[in-house]
Amino acid sequence: MTLSRVQVSLDGTRDYEVLVGHSLTGTLADRVRALCPNAARAFIVIDDGLPELARANLASALSRRQFATAGITIRPSEPDKSLETLDRVLVAIAESRHERRDPVIALGGGIVGDVAGFAAATYRRGVPVIQCPTTLLSMVDASVGGKTGVNLRTPDGSLKKNLVGAFHQPRLVVADISLLSSLPDRQLRAGMAECVKHALLSGQFGDPTLLPWIESSAPAILSRDSGTLAELVSRNVAIKARVVAGDEREEAESIVGGRALLNLGHTFGHAIETLPNLSPTGQPTDAPLHHGEAVALGIMAALETAVSYRVASPSLRDRVGSLLSRLGLPTKVRGLPPSDRVLELMGHDKKVQGGVLRLVLPHDGGVCIVKDNPSLAIVLGAIDSIRV
């Protein structure tokens, strides 16, 4: 199986590669040594759901490349994506006598990558980070683009997603497709929500056939055909890389472009995700929603809004709804609180600027636009449309 390399082009000095291929973790230590020739130490932040052997193998490979290693495991849950966990990671890094040129290596899903990346951004005002995503969601989205951070628990007890963080681009991203063979089904499906999101933007970012390709490849993706997964990850990373190259810090003001487009489905999704009792199947034991499940619901609400504004056709909404269902993702949810409560939660999202609600709306033809100050009646109707 060939290795594909996707370049994330920034300013020429911080550009980096995303490697997509099979059994790449075996050569990770060599790659880290090549990137950090003068480093004495490496610090591994690892998902506590991964086998101890994964950490031990990486640590011994790093030792063979003359790195003194230390590490910490973290629990990949939204409540654990916290300032307390960040503090624990930073103290452990400091205790390992980590210096400025020494890399932090994140081995895990999006939560591990975000916390490790934020620790690397802030420890001694910035040390190198290498992202080694182990979930589909982190391969196609979270590990690429340099967003790092934690959630903030406010005195009223609610969780403000990713409210505290920093942009800190990795030096390298290594997406080892072999790791997807043991990923739980629910996590694989959740990652597909971000792929469908990219497909709805893909006409603007050089891959207009991504949506039909995902539709025709869904059975091969779900049965984890390795070549199909490698193509899925490379094509999605390429879209993410183009978006980030054009607007690294989500500053573009234009309504037709910029990194804000990646928030498609996320303003609705983040609000829904903060509701701990929602479940993708309706079974309480499956609560809470995974991030990708909330994004799938958010994409459907965004499509409904777009249909109300006549920028998307009902057939696009139904086509995407049917794809999400085939991928095993929810398109409606039981137990949603009153729509004005969900709207209020959306107002807490960090993507609200100057009190203005900003939504990303899909158009027919693989493009999206940013809509500021949408009609509240339309937004409330869209929330109702995803209610069982």
Catalytic residues: 125, 147, 194, 240, 250, 259, 263, 266, 270, 291
Which of 280, 108, 282, 274 minimizes the C-alpha distance to 193?
Answer: 280
Binding of ligand GLY by 321 (CB under 6 A): no
| CA–CA separation, 36 and 42 (whole Å) | 10
Backbone angles phi and psi of 37, in degrees to 5: -65, -25
Site for ligand GLY in 343-362 (CB under 6 A): none
DSSP symbols for 154-179: -TTS-EEEEEEEEE---SEEEEEGGG
- Reported in sequence order, the residue ranges of 284-337 that DSSP labels E, i.e. its strands, are none
Binding of ligand GLY by 291 (CB under 6 A): no
Does residue number 161 form part of the binding site for ligand GLY (CB under 6 A)?
no
Q: Tell me which residue has its CB nearest to ligand GLY.
A: 262
Taking CB under 6 A as the rule, does residue 298 contact ligand GLY? no
Written as one letter, the residue type at 217 is: S
Phi, psi (rounded to 5 degrees) for 68: -80, 130
Per rule CB under 6 A, is residue 47 in the interface with ligand GLY?
A: no
Told to check if 168 binds ligand GLY by CB under 6 A, we report no
CA–CA gap between residue 81 and residue 116 (Å, rounded)? 10
Residue with tokens 């999206």: 368
| Cross-strand bridge partners of residue 150 | 164
Instruction: Provide, rounded to whole angstroms, the least separation between the CB of residue 161 and ligand GLY.
Output: 11
* Nearer to ligand GLY (CB atom), residue 71 or residue 269: 269
Q: Choose, by CB under 6 A, the member of 161, 242, 259, 371 that binds ligand GLY.
A: 259
Min. distance of Cβ 103 from ligand GLY in angstroms?
A: 22
CA distance to 26, 120, 187, 266, per residue, from 240 (Å): 26, 22, 20, 15
Min CB(198)–ligand GLY separation in Å: 10
- Name residue, tokens 């999704």: 269
Least Å distance between CB 282 and ligand GLY? 28
- Of residues 128-157, which lie at the interface with ligand GLY (CB under 6 A)? 141, 145, 147
Question: What's the min distance (Å) between Cβ of 240 and ligand GLY?
Answer: 7
Q: Does 262 bind ligand GLY (CB under 6 A)?
A: yes
Residues of this chain that interact with ligand GLY (CB under 6 A) are 141, 145, 147, 259, 262
